[in-house]
Amino acid sequence: MEKLLEKHKIVAVLRSGSVEEAKEKAQAVFKGGVCLIEITFTVPNAETVIREISFLKEKGAIIGAGTVTNVEQCKKAIESGAEYIISPHLDEEISQYCKERGVFYMPGVMTPTEIVKAMKLGHTILKLFPGELLGPKFVKLMKGPFPNVKFVPTGGVNLNNVCEWFEAGVLAVGVGSALVKGTTDEVTKKAQAFVKKIKECTE
C-alpha cells in the first residue's frame, strides 16, 4: 500500500448523501485520473457503494473505506471488498482486526503521543487529521523525532496548498470537498487539476 500511495499521491475522500451520488462521484474522480478512492462510512450504506463500484478495480482503481470508527464498520467494509481501512482516530481493535485479515489500516493521529502509540501497533503510515488545523509545518516538525513515519494529511487540502504539503514531506494527501463537490463533470476536471498540480510539485 505504501508503494501505491507513493505512486498515486492522492486519495479521493468521498462523502455524499446517497449511494447513487457516491457511485457517480467515484466514477468521476477515477475518470479524472485519481485511482485511490475512499468511501467514507458517513455515506448511507457505504458498504453497498464499495460493492457496487468494485468494477472500477478491473480498470485500476484501489477502493477502500474511510471514517471507520468501529470493528463492525470495518467488518462490513472488508466483506464488501474494501482493500484498505482508514479511520480518523487510532483504534487498537480495528488495527488488530485488519492485521488478522491482512488488510492495510491507516489510523488517524494528531499528536506525538498518538504517533508513538500507532508505531507501537506497527503502523508507520498515518493519516494526519485534521490537516487544516495542524498544517504542513507540523509535518516538518514531526519528521525530526519520527523520521520513519509517513504522513497522509486529510482535511483542508486544496489546489492552493497541496504543494506546501508535499514540500513538507508527506507521502500522499487525502482530498475531500475540494475535489468531490460539484457536478460529475466538475469533479472530473478537479481530479485532473489535482493530478496535474501534484505531478508538477513532486517531479
Catalytic residue IDs = 38, 127
Return the bridge partners of 66, or none.
40
Q: How far apart are CA 14 and CA 168, in angstroms?
A: 25
Helix, strand, coil shares of the chain as percentages rounded to 5?
50, 15, 30
Can you tell me the distance from the alpha carbon of 22 to that of 118, in angstroms, rounded to the nearest whole number? 30
Residues 6+ apart with CB under 8 A from 143: 149, 169
- Measured CA to CA, the distance from residue 153 to residue 127 in angstroms comes to 6
**8 A C-beta contact, residue 188 and residue 29:** yes
Q: In what order do the strands lie in the sheet with 150-153?
A: 108-109, 125-128, 150-153
DSSP 201: H
